[in-house]
């Protein structure tokens, strides 16, 4: 619908949109396609995966060797859910989900300030009596005087301060459902399964289905139009670890986890929910198994941290804490997925920001390095040689 513009004024024409876009705080429509996105809690990660996690899909994070950064991403995801008032479902097998929730990073203080300030303004406006009738602008008499709350919770993507934890009143009042595997499934039942269906995963899927049904996130069930809808955030921490009963470190013959992911896709495609799963794929022996899991998820990223590896010493990586690889991006409801500019990303963890950036090699300065051994660029290009190879620029060259 074309809006006719006056000589410099704004008109009252409103574009009639044919599609009913759901207005849910904390989400935004994606730039290509009419899909709803939720933030992962890390704005730079949102940017490289195309705006955020598409509602109805799964973002798989392949964990780094110690799982620290993957756990951090899960915390950001949950913290973002609390800030935007999305209900949470968190499952974990090793540490209790309550412990994870108690340790969430606090939002950076000006966001809290904005929210508090707005709350005060809104409440003070309500106290003012508004019986004075308008004489000149009588057309506006019948419009609502309350503005919709545009506090921090409808903002998309927040920054968090890792040195402070989120206040317990925020985490305790947030609607959440916790799934702690040793509580839900007694240890004896975990051990006995005939290799086809892991009861731990079945129990988890059933609780996800229950939450979707009770919280009215199911899109196939018609809801009354004026009901405010929200998005469920599902976080499955460290799925597929040995605590979940994965035997032999995952081989292609193991079908419990692939079947769980396939059934989860069936649930998510018809629900208003977004899911973040972290899987320690470095424990799996068979790459083909990992590849099958990736194909059954929509977006996949892999974290590789430098802690404890030889790359920590590499001066090219000295500003960063690890590498991030995008393996797959969501193609749900569209012909193409978001195509990033490049696929070389590194992340660094600061107190107030988890930054994901494009990896740049440092410039080669002629006067700094005389010996090729010290040149970080050359070190990156040459592969690491084995112990018995004669070629190579080892310092112990005889």
Partner 1 sequence: MFTELNIILGFDHLKPPKGQFVLISDSLTDGSFLIHHFLSLYIKGGWKVCLLALAQSFGHYNAVGQKLGVPLTQAREKGQLRFIDGLKCSLQMYTCTPQEGQGENPLRVLRDKKATLRPLYDLVKTQVCSEEGVLDGPTLLLVDDLSVLVSLGVSAKDVSDFMHYCRVLMCPTQQSQGAIVSLVHKDADVEDEENSTLFRHMAYHGTVHLAVEGLSSGYSRDVHGQVTVTFRNVQDPSQSQTRKRRLQYKVEERNVSFFAPGTSRAVL
Closest CA relative to residue 209, chosen from 196, 222, 221, 218:
218
Q: Which two tokens stand for residue 52?
A: 């955020």
Question: If you ran DSSP here, which 8-state letter would residue 134 be given?
Answer: P
Checking DSSP bridges between strand 58-62 and strand 299-305, what pairing results, if any? Answer: parallel
**Is residue 59 a contact point for partner 1 (CB under 8 A)?**
no
Tell me how far, at minimum, the Cβ of 296 lies from partner 1, in Å: 7
3-state helix, strand, coil in the chain (%, to 5): 35, 20, 50
Interacting stretch for partner 1, rule CB under 8 A, among 14-22, 44-52, 139-147, 258-266? 258-266
> What is the distance between the alpha carbons of residues 354 and 159, in angstroms, rounded to a whole number?
9
**Is residue 207 a contact point for partner 1 (CB under 8 A)?**
no
Question: If you ran DSSP here, which 8-state letter would residue 7 be given?
Answer: S
In this complex, which beta carbon is closest to partner 1, that of residue 166 or of residue 324? 324
In this complex, which beta carbon is closest to partner 1, that of residue 115 or of residue 219? 219
Which of 68, 309, 314, 334 contacts partner 1 by CB under 8 A? 334
**Is residue 333 a contact point for partner 1 (CB under 8 A)?**
yes
**Is residue 336 a contact point for partner 1 (CB under 8 A)?**
yes
Phi, psi dihedral angles at 20 (to 5 degrees): -85, 100
Tell me how far, at minimum, the Cβ of 377 lies from partner 1, in Å: 19
b/e sequence 274-295, b meaning 16+ C-beta within 10 Å: bbbbbbbbeebeeeebbebbbe
**Is residue 337 a contact point for partner 1 (CB under 8 A)?**
yes
Tell me how far, at minimum, the Cβ of 18 lies from partner 1, in Å: 12
Considering CB under 8 A, how many residues would be counted as binding partner 1? 39
**Is residue 339 a contact point for partner 1 (CB under 8 A)?**
yes
Interacting stretch for partner 1, rule CB under 8 A, among 259-267, 312-320, 355-363, 377-385? 259-267
Tell me how far, at minimum, the Cβ of 11 lies from partner 1, in Å: 30
In this complex, which beta carbon is closest to partner 1, that of residue 288 or of residue 307? 288
Helix residue ranges, H only, 49-160:
68-83, 97-102, 109-127
**Is residue 22 a contact point for partner 1 (CB under 8 A)?**
no
> What is the distance between the alpha carbons of residues 22 and 47, in angstroms, rounded to a whole number?
22
**Is residue 309 a contact point for partner 1 (CB under 8 A)?**
no
- 283-302 positions binding partner 1, by CB under 8 A: 287-288, 290-292, 295-296
Tell me how far, at minimum, the Cβ of 229 lies from partner 1, in Å: 17
| 211: Cα separation from own chain's centroid | 20
CA dihedral 218, 220, 221, 222 (to 10 degrees): 120
SS3 351: coil
**Is residue 209 a contact point for partner 1 (CB under 8 A)?**
yes
In this complex, which beta carbon is closest to partner 1, that of residue 147 or of residue 343? 343
Q: Cβ distance 44 to 354 under 8 Å?
A: yes
Cβ burial of 41 (10 Å; 0-12, 13-18, 19+) is buried
Interacting stretch for partner 1, rule CB under 8 A, among 7-15, 257-265, 271-279, 357-365? 257-265
Name the site residues for partner 1 (rule: CB under 8 A): 32-33, 196-197, 202, 205-206, 209, 252, 255, 258-260, 262-263, 265-267, 269-270, 287-288, 290-292, 295-296, 328, 331-337, 339, 341-343
């Amino acid at each position: 619908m074309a809006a006719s513009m006056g000589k410099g004024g704004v008109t009252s024409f409103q574009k009639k949109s044919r599609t009913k876009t759901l207005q849910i705080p904390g989400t935004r429509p994606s730039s290509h396609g009419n899909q709803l996105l939720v933030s992962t809690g890390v704005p730079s990660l949102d940017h490289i995966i195309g705006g955020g996690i598409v509602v109805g899909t799964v973002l798989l994070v392949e964990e780094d060797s110690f799982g620290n950064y993957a756990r951090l991403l899960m915390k950001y995801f949950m913290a973002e859910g609390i800030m935007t008032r999305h209900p949470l479902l968190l499952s974990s097998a090793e540490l209790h989900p309550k412990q994870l929730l108690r340790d969430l990073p606090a939002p950076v203080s000006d966001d809290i300030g904005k929210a508090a300030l707005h709350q005060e303004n809104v409440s003070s406006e309500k106290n003012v009596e508004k019986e004075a009738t308008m004489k000149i602008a009588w057309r506006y008499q019948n419009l609502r005087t309350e503005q919709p709350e545009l506090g921090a919770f409808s903002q998309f993507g927040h920054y968090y301060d890792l040195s402070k934890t989120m206040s317990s009143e925020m985490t305790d009042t947030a609607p959440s459902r916790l799934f702690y595997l040793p509580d839900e499934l007694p240890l004896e039942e975990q051990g006995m399964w005939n290799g086809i269906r892991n009861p731990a995963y079945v129990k988890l899927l059933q609780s996800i289905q229950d939450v979707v049904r009770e919280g009215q996130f199911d899109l196939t069930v018609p809801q009354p139009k004026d009901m405010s809808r929200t998005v469920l955030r599902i976080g499955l921490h460290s799925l597929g670890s040995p605590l979940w009963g994965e035997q032999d470190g995952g081989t292609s013959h193991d079908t419990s986890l692939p079947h769980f992911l396939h059934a989860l896709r069936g649930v998510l495609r018809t629900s208003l929910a977004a899911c973040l799963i972290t899987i320690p794929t470095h424990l799996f022996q068979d790459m083909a198994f990992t590849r099958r899991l990736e194909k059954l998820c929509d977006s996949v990223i892999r974290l590789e941290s430098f802690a404890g590896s030889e790359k920590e010493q590499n001066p090219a990586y000295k500003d960063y804490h690890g590498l991030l690889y995008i393996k797959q991006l969501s193609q749900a409801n569209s012909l193409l997925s978001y195509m990033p500019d490049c696929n070389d990303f590194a992340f660094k963890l600061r107190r107030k920001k988890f930054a994901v950036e494009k990896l740049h090699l440092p410039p080669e300065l002629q006067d700094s390095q005389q010996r090729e051994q010290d040149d970080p660029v050359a070190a990156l290009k040459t592969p690491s040689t084995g112990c018995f190879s004669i070629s190579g620029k080892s310092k112990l060259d005889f």
